[in-house]
Amino acid sequence: MVLEFHDDGIYCPAGQFHIDPWKPVDRALITHGHADHSRPGHGRYLATHAALPVMRHRLGPIEAEGIAYGEVREIGGVRVSFHPAGHVPGSAQIRVEHRGEVWCVSGDYKTGADKLSEPWEPVRCHAFITECTFGLPVFTWEPEAELERQLNQWWAANAAEGRFSVIGSYALGKAQRVMTMADPSIGSILTHGAVENTNAVLRAQGVALPDTVRVTKELDLKAHPGALVIAPPSALAGGWIRKFGNASTGIASGWMALRGVRRRRAADRGFVISDHADWPGLNAAIRETGATRVFATHGYTSVFHRWLREQGYDAHVVSTEYEGEEFESELDAAEDAA
């Protein structure tokens, strides 16, 4: 096999490198900067130029090299290249070719385009390693324009009543996507420290984001009536949110498609906004790769694996330590209490 599944991560024996390993290794190829895929302790890192700034921000000093989308590198006789995954800025699928056999590690990906991330591109391969965070038919996302309408209608209604609109969104990717969807004519956009720290990194590398204001103890909230406030989901459950008084709360997550999750989160509004592929997206992506072998790494793996087998694929479940949407909120909360 071109790639093997070890207890420290996905391994290429011919090239002697790992992809998104969860234990320290000598050489790690990283699909994107989320904490369950980009971990500390590796000897050398290789990631897209656009992913590296956030990785350095989160991991501190690391020995890392950048690579452009589509650029081919040879590592120990293995040809590798990185291709857009549409998940967050700089996210990539990693194509690995050895002796004419091609495998692709998708990391996390989203097939629908947004105003933030480099659009997903299909990678032709023999074997495809896929997430299936939302690998059930119930998960089908609305078009981006409809999501924008829902978000701005909620914000405008709250602003008209003089209330803040506080929305829980992961600090890397989801928060910035919400910003690009928000209509700044409604009011100011305020951000939790963890979100604004990430904004600063992305802006420095040329990512276009609307104007935002960091929430600090000194900030006069009366100067920003009816503002949209973007914070990690965990911040909505702590004392941080109390400073906004009788605010309306929302959560942006694919999990909001499930009524039970909406109730448990106790938010006023759930927005079904995800940076992962939905059910149609997962199936379309796999078809477009042309792969006959498919490995499901995290999400609804057992259900999705059975479905793929019914469709005629040589499908398998792989145990990994990738955690999807839930993992990021804990990191975000710890990064900056604002």
The CATH fold assigned to 4-138+276-325 is Metallo-beta-lactamase; Chain A (3.60.15)
Per-residue burial over 167-203, b = 16 or more CB atoms within 10 Å of its CB, e = otherwise: bbbbbbbbbbbbbbbbbeebbbbbbbbbbbbbbebbe
> Across-strand partners of 4?
11
What DSSP string runs through 194-248? HHHHHHHHHHHTT------EE--TT--GGGSTT-EEEE-GGGGGSGGGGGG-S-E
Q: Where are the alpha helices (DSSP H) in 231-324?
A: 259-265, 279-289, 301-310
What's the confidence (pLDDT) of residue 331? 44
**Domain range list for the chain:** 4-138+276-325, 144-271
Residue 257's Cβ-side half-sphere holds a number of Cα atoms within 13 Å equal to: 18
CA-to-CA distance for 24 and 67, rounded, in angstroms?
A: 21
Quote the pLDDT of residue 146: 97
Total residues found in the chain within this entry: 338
CATH for the 144-271 domain, from 3.90.1310.10, 3.40.50.10710, 3.40.190.10, 3.10.450.50: 3.40.50.10710
Query: Residue 329's pLDDT is what?
Result: 45
List the pLDDT tens digit at each of the 338 positions of the chain: 999 999 999 999 999 999 999 999 999 999 999 999 999 999 999 999 999 999 999 999 999 999 999 999 999 999 999 999 999 999 999 999 999 999 999 999 999 999 999 999 999 999 999 999 999 999 999 999 999 999 999 999 999 999 999 999 999 999 999 999 999 999 999 999 999 999 999 999 999 999 999 999 999 999 999 999 999 998 988 789 999 998 999 999 999 998 766 655 668 999 999 999 999 999 999 999 999 999 999 999 999 999 999 999 999 999 998 887 654 444 444 344 33
Bridge partners for 278 per DSSP? none
Name the 3-class secondary structure at 104.
strand
Distance between CA atoms of 227 and 247, rounded to whole angstroms? 10
Distance CA 60, CA 279 (A): 36
| Helix and strand totals (H; E) in the chain | 8, 19
Query: How far is Cα 311 from Cα 297, in angstroms, rounded to an integer?
Result: 18
List, as one string, the DSSP characters of 25-60.
Answer: -SEEE-S-SSTTTS-S--SEEEEETTTHHHHHHHH-
Estimate to the nearest angstrom the gap between the alpha carbon of 194 and the chain centroid: 15
Q: Give Cβ neighbours of residue 95 (< 8 Å, ≥ 6 apart).
A: 79, 80, 81, 82, 83, 102, 103, 104, 123, 125
Q: Which residue has the tokens 């002796």?
A: 99
Using CA atoms, how far residue 162 sits from 74, 154, 222, in Å, is 58, 13, 10
The residue among 99, 48, 134 whose CA lies nearest residue 325 is: 134
Max distance between CA atoms of the chain, in angstroms, equals: 64
> What pLDDT shows up at residue 260?
65
| Three-class SS state of 179 | helix
For residue 262, what pLDDT is reported? Answer: 60
CA distance 311 to 92: 27
Measured between alpha carbons, how far is 257 from 271 in angstroms, rounded to an integer? 8
pLDDT value at position 61? 95
